[in-house]
C-alpha cells in the first residue's frame, strides 16, 4: 500500500518525532511504499491565501503553491498523521495543511447550491492518527469530548473519504508520563503500524 506519513512538530528529535520515525520504520518493514511529509522541515505555509479561498466556490481549485501536496494526497492509499495536541488541537501548520490541500476539487466537491459536500478521496482506505495529549484521558473525553476523533471521523473523513477506516493511537497524560510509559506507547505504535 502507498502510505503517506504527515508529521507536524517543529523538532524532529522530540517525542512526537520519535513516534513519527517509529511509524516510518514499522510501515517500511511491513512492506508499504511510504513517503514522509515533514511540514515544518518543508516550511509548509499554513496560511490560506485570498486567491485560494476564492477558488473554494469559483471553478477548479488551482494553487501551484500546494500542487505537490495535492499530488501526494491523490496518490496515497493510506495516511498516518503524527502530531501533538496543543490546547486540545492540532498544531496550526497541520490545520493549514487541511485548509489548503484538502480543498474543493481535490478532497471534496460542493453539491449544487453549496449544499452537502461530495467526497473525492476514494483512493484513501485507511487514515490513522498517532498523537499525544498532555492531560489525562478523562479530561480529553469529558471536558473536550475527543476533539481529534470527531474532527477526523465526522469532519475530514465524513466529508472527504467516507470509505477510509479511521484509527486513533493516542498517548494521554504525557505531561506526567515517565520513560517506561513512553517506551510502552512507542512499542504499541510500532506493533500496530506493523499491521497497518
Structure confidence at residue 114 (pLDDT): 64
Give residue-wise pLDDT tens across range 37-72.
999 999 999 999 888 888 777 767 778 899 999 999
Do 89 and 152 touch, CB atoms closer than 8 A? no
Structure-block grid coordinates of residue 132: 499525544
Three-state DSSP class for residue 65 = helix
Quote the mean pLDDT of the chain.
92
Distance CA 129, CA 142 (A): 20
Handedness of CA 104, 24, 7, 64 (dihedral sign): negative
Structure confidence at residue 113 (pLDDT): 67
Structure confidence at residue 56 (pLDDT): 79
Average pLDDT over residues 19-45: 98
Average pLDDT over residues 128-137: 88
When pLDDT is cut at 50, 70 and 90, the band that residue 161 belongs to is: very high
- Check residue 111 and report its DSSP letter: P
Query: What is the per-residue burial (b if ≥16 Cβ within 10 Å, else e) of 99-113?
Result: bbbbbbebbbeeeee
Q: Which residues contact 150 (CB under 8 A, 6 or more apart)?
A: none
Q: Which domains, and CATH codes, for the chain? A: 2-193 (3.40.50.360)
Amino acid at each position: 500500500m502507498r502510505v503517506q506519513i504527515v508529521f507536524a512538530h517543529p523538532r524532529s528529535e522530540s517525542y512526537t518525532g520519535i513516534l513519527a520515525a517509529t511509524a516510518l520504520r514499522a510501515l517500511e518493514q511491513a512492506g508499504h511504499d511510504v513517503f514522509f511529509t515533514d511540514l515544518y522541515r518543508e516550511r509548509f505555509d499554513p496560511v490560506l491565501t485570498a486567491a485560494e479561498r476564492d477558488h473554494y466556490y469559483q471553478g477548479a481549485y488551482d494553487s501551484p503553491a500546494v500542487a505537490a501536496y495535492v499530488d501526494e494526497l491523490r496518490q496515497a492509499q493510506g495516511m498516518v498523521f503524527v502530531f501533538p495536541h496543543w490546547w486540545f488541537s492540532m498544531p496550526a501548520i497541520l490545520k493549514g495543511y487541511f485548509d489548503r490541500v484538502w480543498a474543493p476539487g481535490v478532497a471534496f466537491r460542493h453539491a449544487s447550491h453549496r449544499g452537502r459536500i461530495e467526497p473525492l478521496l476514494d483512493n484513501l482506505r485507511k487514515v490513522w492518527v498517532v498523537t499525544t495529549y498532555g492531560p489525562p484521558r478523562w479530561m480529553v473525553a469529558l471536558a473536550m469530548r475527543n476533539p481529534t476523533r470527531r474532527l477526523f471521523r465526522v469532519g475530514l473523513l465524513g466529508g472527504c473519504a467516507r470509505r477510509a477506516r479511521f484509527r486513533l493511537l493516542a498517548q494521554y497524560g504525557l505531561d506526567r508520563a515517565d520513560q517506561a510509559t513512553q517506551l510502552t506507547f512507542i512499542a504499541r505504535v510500532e506493533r500496530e503500524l506493523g499491521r497497518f
